[in-house]
Structure 1
Amino acid sequence: MEESNVKKFQTNRLLFFGVLLFFLGLLVGLFIPLMANPRMGLTTHLEGVMNGILLVALGLIWAKIEVSAFWLKTAFWLSLYGSFANFIAVLIAAITGSGKMMPIAGGQEGSAFVEGIISFLLISLALAMLTVCIIVLSGIYRHMNLEHK
């Protein structure tokens, strides 16, 4: 696939998965009172909505990111992973009442297995999203400089 087709493919996928995640965030909002930790349920709702909007925004600016094909592919997959891992980690915490890494949202300590999953997702998604931001910022900066030449 040539580079412009790859960007179009990624753009369309970011838009699709962004709207899907936004929808899932709205859907979770309907079940907040049924969760073991409703405060974490609200957090899940907000994470789904906000990360969905992030993916849509990335999809809308994707053509303006000037990086190599490798870095573009890396940013694409890490943004999808980070957005959905965030939603899933907080959803697991809301349903189980676990999530000691998120005490502000009322997370209590759960089983070692569940805490391990939540902790892995939270740490890995933070690293993924920081990497995405660095790649996107550098790509937009390059795009700005190319336009002014």
Structure 2
Amino acid sequence: MLELTQIGEQLIFIGIAFFLVGLIQGALIPAVKNSRMALSGHLTAVQCGMALAIFGVIWSLVMLPLFVDIFVAYGCVVGFILIWLGITIASVTGASKALPIAGAGFSAKVTTEFTVKIMVRTGSLLSLIACTTLVFGLLPTLG
């Protein structure tokens, strides 16, 4: 049986709260400038929230040094939130350069476009590094 750790409990709570935010955002899709982008934000929050909750459930299986363990857990949280926040800002402002498919036909001020691009890219890189490290932290459970 899996045992919940303190980090695991926190990831579950953050994940379920993030999932709830995604559900609320789904109800608000028609109220924003770019509904396609809002749908992307909604799906991002719901999917990332579920991922964080799952990470929390399996956290006792992760074998990483303490500092790396903390980086991976909260790197995932911060990375996922940055991606979602960037997409959500884009849906409200019309920013489209960072996400051209969902943003097709929309544009925003240069500073907004830059902010969204930095948020999405930073969040993507951070979550990629954290999730890749998580995979290596789970490898010892295979043996």
Global fold match (TM > 0.5) = yes
Q: CA deviation at 1:106?
A: 2.3
Q: Deviations over 1:61-91 (max 9, x none)?
A: 1110101111101101101101111111111
Name the structure 1 match of 2:123. Answer: 125
Secondary structure of 2:96's aligned partner: coil
| Residue 77 (structure 2) aligns with | 80
What are the residue-to-residue correspondences of 1:96-115 with 2, within 5 Å?
96-107=93-104, 108-115=106-113
SS in 1 for 2:11: helix
Deviates more, 1:107-116 or 1:52-61: 107-116
Please tell me the residue identity of whatever aligns with 1:100: K
d(CA) in 1 for partners of 2:114 and 2:98?
10
CA distance in 2, matches of 1:13, 1:21: 12
Aligned mates of 2:80, 2:55 — CA distance in 1: 12
Q: How does 1:36-51 map to 2 (within 5 A)?
A: 36-51=33-48
Aligned position for 2:25: 28
Q: Percent identity?
A: 27
* Structure 2: runs of 5 or more not aligned: none
Hey, which bits of structure 1, 4+ residues long, moved more than 6 A?
none
- Counterpart CA distance in 2 for 1:94 and 1:109 is 10
Normalised by the length of structure 1, the TM-score is 0.88
- Kindly report the root-mean-square deviation, in angstroms, between the aligned alpha carbons of the 2 structures: 1.3
Query: Which AA in structure 2 matches 1:109?
Result: S
Deviation at 1:127, TM superposition (A): 1.0
Deviations 1:111-132 (A, max 9, x none): 1221121111111111111111
> Between Structure 1 and Structure 2, how many residues are aligned?
139
Unaligned 5+ segments in structure 1 are 1-6
1:99 Cα deviation from its structure 2 partner: 2.5
The answer to whether 1:67 aligns with 2:64 is yes
Write out per-residue CA displacement over residues 19-57 of structure 1, whole angstroms, 9 at most, x where no aligned residue: 011000000111111100011111111011001011011
Aligned twin of 2:142: 144
For 1:46 and 1:73, locate their aligned partners in 2 and report how far apart those are by CA, in whole Å.
26
Question: If the length of structure 2 is used for normalisation, what is the TM-score?
Answer: 0.92
CA distance in 1, matches of 2:88, 2:7: 26
